[in-house]
Amino acid sequence: MTERTKATAPFRIGVALSGGAAKGFAHLGVLQALEECGKRPDIIAGNSAGAIVAALYADGYRPEEIIDLFMDRDFRAMTQWQLPQKGFFETRRLLDFLRATLRHQFLEDLPLTVRIVATDLDHGTIKVFASGPLADIVLASSSVPVLFNPVVIDGVTYVDGGLFKNLPASVLRDDCQYLIGVHLNPKQPTEYKKNIIGIAERSFAYIYRANAMLDRELCDLLIEPRELSHFKLFSVESARELAAIGYQEALHALNEASETPT
């Protein structure tokens, strides 16, 4: 993308939010820092945890309010274990929560433009949603295969967008003048649990990190909080600590950058 093309892009600042399960609370700290520095995004793309944050933020919730929404809910409150059929956990409770919490029913009605990435499991392709039932789309983007049930929308089966594009930077690159990427899986800890959840978590993390490499290069500013590698997949109780890490990392990155538009 040339500098001339960037200058004529329809949106000024775009933010791409990666997946990362509970680490997604770090996105809230990043968004708070961007606002305080006068860099509120004009368009957001999100995958998985990034899709949840993008939807709620665009829906009008403040970063601190989003943390409060989840503080009294743990993984068990949002899911229900089932005899494995399509996934180990049924996510109807999470869908009900999203439908009850989101003020807008359709993605295209959000006051801030949002694009959400999911994986079309039937055809093996990336799906970038710009319209449709908001809660269902967010859940589809967040449905890690095998762990959670897939989501069917208009007869098509969808799972976590991170299988192909964990950091959805390319989704926004042609549409914004300045692109900020927030990548929550920069490295893996040395130790991990040798059980089914630990193995699945580590395996998917390798996939997510590998497919983010090209998208990382597309960002004008890349924020990768290294401290996040020490947190567990569903560490909802650490929400405020995770947000604080994202906040500090974003401030540091913005201070280091010299070409961020004002």
Q: How far is it, in rounded angstroms, from Cα 97 to Cα 197? A: 24
Catalytic residue from among 42, 59, 160, 215 = 160
Catalytic-residue membership of 96: no
Nearest to 3 by CA among 171, 209, 220: 220
Q: How far is it, in rounded angstroms, from Cα 112 to Cα 57? A: 9
Q: Which amino acid is at 126?
A: I
Catalytic residue from among 18, 42, 48, 59 = 48
Catalytic-residue membership of 203: no
Q: What is the CA radius of gyration of the chain?
A: 17
Give how far Cα 90 sits from Cα of 7, 71, 86, 100, Å: 45, 21, 9, 18
Collapsed DSSP state (helix, strand, coil) of residue 33: helix
Q: How far is it, in rounded angstroms, from Cα 87 to Cα 151? A: 11
Catalytic residue list? 48, 160
